[in-house]
Homo-oligomer: A and B are copies of this chain.
Amino acid sequence: MAPIRLAIVGLGKIARDQHLGAIEATDGVNLVAVASRNAQLEGVHCFHDIADLLASDVGIDAVSLCTPPQGRFAQANAALDAGKHVMLEKPPGASLSEVYALEALAKAKGLTLFSTWHSRAAAAVEPARALLVRRKIKSVSVEWKEDVRHWHPGQAWIWEPGGLGVFDPGINALSIVTRILPEPFHLVRSDLTFPANRAAPIAASLAFEMVSGTPVSAEFDWRQTGPQTWDIRVETEEGPVVLTHGGSRLIVDGEPQIVEEDREYRNLYRDFVSLVRSGTSDTDFSPLVHVADAFMLGRRIQTEEFED
């Protein structure tokens, strides 16, 4: 079967750090073009933007969108309209209504749409999911605490409406929890802490319940200095199941487990190849649904101004 001819749109940090190497390492997909306002890549066709790419005679089958979510609807819509399969970085878009519209367009066109969640492809996630299906869960607690000054220095856009604030990392935790728990859960309380001078939250304290009533709590905080925390702890009747380091390590009943080497983005491209080949889509937007709920039900708490 001929490899998928892929173009990357948006050649920023995430594309260079993760996507290029993962594509190189994945059978069944070849990078043939990039579209980027500011950057060029040797050895492939380069375009200023997706419109130029789609208008060219360079043959592509699919695009991988690595641009910020705010502009992505128009790009994905143009690609689908031109008959190309589409892979979306997380979060899949700036709004739920736009990603549902893309889902409907892909379906109508018979094209693959893949809404990726890289943390969900982390090494400990699938083993944890398989284990939790067989256990009785008593409670779940998520702690996702990092230093925004270290990870997002000077990125003003993350503090703007649509930038999601602390949910930019928090949605990674939600993408894991929605995958490993055997039941859906829904929000019952949301406390959002906003710096007085910013439009997005710097911290969030969330309480959910699974359909069975089992509690799920999540604490997201961007003010953590020193050691960073990206942990999910599931208490079960048989003992605790704990994912640490953003889903890459697993500790079951106190015993660290051997999990595969972490290869989040290679897993994503492997899955994209299989989705395209089988003519299917993966459009689980549930992490973004939880974030939208957290804003809709959020109680606002104001805190001191934030400058970085």
How far does the alpha carbon of A254 sit from the alpha carbon of B260 in the complex, in Å? 68
Q: Is A223 an interface residue (CB 8 A)?
A: no
Q: In chain B, what residue has the closest Cβ to A299?
A: B161
Q: In chain B, what residue has the closest Cβ to A208?
A: B97
How far does the alpha carbon of A274 sit from the alpha carbon of B151 in the complex, in Å? 55
Q: Is A77 an interface residue (CB 8 A)?
A: yes
CB distance from A294 to the nearest CB of B (A): 8
A95-B297, A295-B296 known; 6 new pairs, CB 8 Å cut-off, are A95-B293, A95-B296, A96-B96, A96-B289, A96-B296, A161-B190
Instruction: Decide if A211 touches B105 in the complex (CB within 8 Å).
Output: yes
CB distance from A242 to the nearest CB of B (A): 24
- Write out the residue numbers on chain B whose beta carbons fall within 8 Å of the beta carbon of A162: 296-297
CB distance from A288 to the nearest CB of B (A): 9
Q: Is A101 an interface residue (CB 8 A)?
A: yes
How far does the alpha carbon of A185 sit from the alpha carbon of B291 in the complex, in Å? 20
Q: Is A184 an interface residue (CB 8 A)?
A: yes
Chain A residues numbered 90-136 whose CB sits less than 8 Å from any CB in chain B: 94-98, 100-101, 104-105
- Write out the residue numbers on chain B whose beta carbons fall within 8 Å of the beta carbon of A161: 190, 297-299
Q: Is A300 an interface residue (CB 8 A)?
A: yes
- Write out the residue numbers on chain B whose beta carbons fall within 8 Å of the beta carbon of A184: 97, 100-101, 104
Instruction: Decide if A185 touches B97 in the complex (CB within 8 Å).
Output: yes
